[in-house]
Amino acid sequence: MKSLNIDVIFPWEVGLIIVILGIIIITIGIKQSKQKPFDDLDKLPFTKSATKIFFGSVALIFGLIQLLPLLK
């Protein structure tokens, strides 16, 4: 069986925390995307919902890679 040659950077506990934070960021982004559009330009959010969903997905994938040693 060939290896994926992916090295683990953090222990699995840190990977689990990253996965949980990624899921929280994704749910915040989804909640924000379901709100009505903004009419007032002074009340625009700091980051868009798509940005939060993207960074949450990246954190989720990174955290899952950190959890790979648990599968052995």
In a domain, residue 6? The reply is: no
| pTM for this predicted structure | 0.74
Angle separating helix axes 49-66 and 12-33, nearest 10 degrees: 160
In a domain, residue 24? The reply is: yes
> Residue 54: its pLDDT value, please?
92
> Residue 10: its pLDDT value, please?
78
For 3-61, what is each residue's pLDDT tens digit?
Answer: 666 666 778 888 899 999 999 999 998 988 887 766 665 666 667 888 899 999 999 99
Q: Which residue segment(s) compose the domain that 58 sits in?
A: 12-33+47-71
For the chain, the domain total comes to 1
In a domain, residue 61? The reply is: yes
> Residue 59: its pLDDT value, please?
94
